[in-house]
Amino acid sequence: MNIPWTLKYKPKTLSEVIGNEDAKKKILQWIKEWDAKPPKKKALLIYGPPGTGKTVTVEALANDLDMELVQSNASDYRTADAVQRFAGRSSRYGTLFGKKRLILFDELDGITGSADRGGLREITKIVKETGSPIILIANDAYNPRFSTLRRSCQLIEFKKPNKRQIIKLLSKICSLEGIYAEPDALKLIAERANGDVRSAINDLQALAQGRNRLTFEDAAWLSSRDQKEVIFNTLRRIFYAGSIRGALRAVNEADVDLDMLLEWIYENIPYHIKNPKELASAMNMLSLADLYRGRIATSQNWELMRYYVDFMSAGVATSWSRKSRGWTPFRFPSRIMSMSRSKAARGMLKEIGLRIGRRCHISADRAAKDVIPFLRVIFQNNPEMGASLAKWLGLDEEMMNFIASMRNNK
């Protein structure tokens, strides 16, 4: 069974939570004040961007201190009655076996809509009367609706971990998974995550799971975060559609390239559809879609496009029972990544040929055929001479490494 790496490598102790060292110290100091007497502010309001470790920090803290964690999210305390059922009794009475209790209100932002019927007011009341420490978590602590509650809380801000910390964590996960990852690949994933650790781990799993090597070219194929979320959401809506109309709507409402979507579906079908007969049926639908794609390309008859879309979406969605167990991540299309690497290599070779051609007054094609093979031998066997030649030809370090790593038949 596939397990999300965000759960598999979830921090169990405070020391495993990356970043926000000052914030963690303040939380630990506040919780220890309860050993003597309740502090003036009986609740913490932890806030900061998603994916920065707010919730896992509280969970790790409870684990470190062997506290009973009473935890829930916004869907469980929109009303005053719901808040009382969740935390009212817990905030006033001790635990059955004498353990200290920690109450966590997570996703506080989720109760700021019209559905909130006294929930915030009741939370504020419980915070003032509680006999157990309470921690609240929100992305934005300064939402006007939190103004009364905020006055009863000590505020602690969580900031985005830096890129170096995220890279270190990703490297550790790769090591545990038996994956060799090029440093530049992890650097790119960390940069694209923009401080969101959860998203960085999800990206790493999508790119590297089932492989033993992750290259920069693999990671470079990552689209922007918004585009990636669109394609992931479209795949979910197609694969797990409850009706033909729902599958068709998923494609019609998504701003994605249809040929790219076909590659994504083709890559991910075998991982989601476990029944061989259902898998064969879904693949047959995809092959029919590909057949219509070919007919459109040769005939330019765009009226056939509806069949292309129908088979890749509704055809696939209705081919299986959607009874696969466990969580299955979506994987980036390996064929597209291979094409991307090939395209990048051709682009690099062309640029090198152009630079050599300008210096030696020959064409780029001739430079690639007659000069680069000799440069490869020099770069591999005489680095000092190679560096001198590279400087004269205007080749940078990346170009030198590219030439040196080329195979003999190139």
Does residue 173 surpass a pLDDT of 80? yes
Q: What pLDDT score was predicted for residue 207?
A: 84
The whole-number average pLDDT for the span 218-226 is 63
pLDDT band of residue 30 (cuts 50, 70, 90) is: very high
Between 45 and 375, where is the model more confident? Answer: 45
pLDDT tens, position by position, 79-125: 566 666 655 555 555 555 567 889 888 888 776 444 445 677 888 88
**CA–CA distance, 254 with 264 (Å, rounded to integer):** 14
pLDDT band of residue 168 (cuts 50, 70, 90) is: very high
The whole-number average pLDDT for the span 42-66 is 92
Q: What pLDDT score was predicted for residue 353?
A: 84
DSSP bridge pairs for 68: 101
pLDDT tens, position by position, 306-358: 898 899 999 998 888 866 555 677 777 766 555 555 556 667 788 888 888 88
SS (H, E, C) the chain: CCCCHHHHCCCCCHHHCCCCHHHHHHHHHHHHHCCCCCCCCCEEEEECCCCCCHHHHHHHHHHHCCCEEEEECHHHCCEHHHHHHHHHHHHHCCCCCCCCEEEEECCHHHHCCCCCEEHHHHHHHHHHHCCCCEEEEECCCCCHHHHHHHCCEEEEECCCCCHHHHHHHHHHHHHHHCCEECHHHHHHHHHHHCCCHHHHHHHHHHHHCCCCEECHHHHHCCCCHHHHHHHHHHHHHHHCCCCHHHHHHHHHCCCCCHHHHHHHHHHHHHHHCCCHHHHHHHHHHHHHHHHHHHHHHHHCCHHHHHHHHHHHHHHHHCCCCCCCCCCCCCCCCHHHHHHHHHHHHHHHHHHHHHHHHHHHCCCHHHHHHHHHHHHHHHHHHCHHHHHHHHHHHCCCHHHHHHHHCCCCCC
Does residue 74 surpass a pLDDT of 70? no
Residues 6+ apart with CB under 8 A from 104: 55, 58, 69, 70, 71, 72, 134, 135, 136, 137
pLDDT tens, position by position, 273-301: 888 899 999 999 999 998 988 888 788 78
pLDDT tens, position by position, 125-157: 888 888 889 999 988 888 888 888 899 899 999
pLDDT band of residue 259 (cuts 50, 70, 90) is: confident
Q: What pLDDT score was predicted for residue 114?
A: 45
The whole-number average pLDDT for the span 250-269 is 82
Q: Could you tell me which of 141, 25, 129 has the C-alpha nearest to residue 84? A: 129
Pair 24, 14: CB distance under 8 Å: yes
